[in-house]
Amino acid sequence: MALLVVPNTRFHHSFISAVTEFGDARMDGAGSVNGAELTALADEEAFERLVISLVRDQQEDAPRAASFVPATSLWMVNDDELVGFLQVRHRLTPFLLEQGGHIGYSVRPSERRQGYASAALTESLGVAAGLGIEQVLLVCDEENIGSRTVIERAGGVYEDSRAGKRRYWIPTGYPNNSQLFH
Ligand SMILES: CC(C)(COP(=O)(O)OP(=O)(O)OC[C@H]1O[C@@H](n2cnc3c(N)ncnc32)[C@H](O)[C@@H]1OP(=O)(O)O)[C@@H](O)C(=O)NCCC(=O)NCCS
């Protein structure tokens, strides 16, 4: 079964518990999800607005900050419970080329070390291929052993380190591996 799904309001309950678990920690790949707005997001309508804006962000003409690019936000799920976040940015900006990369992800703390990030990263390569990206850039902090292992196991080819970040490239398999999410 596919691990990555398009954000959907049916994950409201596990979304709230996942974001609560992150606390103040960064939620890489969560897009505009902001733990500081957790109380407001308990409201079903506010959550629906968030889901709509996340899904819409893959469109070129969606509203966003000038320095941001369109991105496909996906949620990692298991047994219909949200276990993590992943985002594929559609192209690189100067900042993403140095510090962010094409793909960001995070797994909720209680669900780590079960292979979710590895499986999600592999699956997301098809998403990137579907966007016409031939190779994706992945970036992690030098000391982020978990993410570094995930990237290297997925076939990441180390290019260099810049400002404390390790930079890797992974071929997506484009055009054969293309996978579309709606
Ligand atoms: C990094 C992160 C995404 C890994 O998610 P995960 O689902 O636990 O990763 P996986 O289970 O696929 O891990 C694959 C391998 O990486 C290594 N690994 C993962 N987390 C590790 C950790 N904290 N310390 C050491 N090795 C780790 C292990 O070798 C693991 O395989 P194993 O459990 O069979 O030994 C998760 O720890 C996280 O969300 N961290 C905070 C956000 C973040 O750093 N995101 C990445 C930004 S670049």
Question: Which residue ranges make up each domain of the chain?
Answer: 4-171
Residue 114 CA: which ligand 1 atom is closest? 11
User: What's the CA gap between 166 and 125, in Å, rounded?
Assistant: 19
- How many Å lie between the centroid of ligand 1 and the Cα of residue 19? 18
Q: Does domain 4-171 have CATH number 3.40.630.30?
A: yes
pTM, entire model = 0.96
Instruction: Grade residue 180 by pLDDT with cuts at 50, 70 and 90.
Output: confident
Ligand 1 proximity of 18 Cβ (cutoff 6 Å):
no
Closest by Cα among 113, 85, 101 to 28: 85
Q: Which of 129, 136, 180 is nearest to 154 (CA)?
A: 136
Instruction: Name which residue sits closest to atom 29 of ligand 1, judged by CA.
Output: 149
What pLDDT digit, counting tens, does each position of 64-122 carry?
A: 999 999 999 999 999 999 999 999 999 999 999 999 999 999 999 999 999 999 999 99
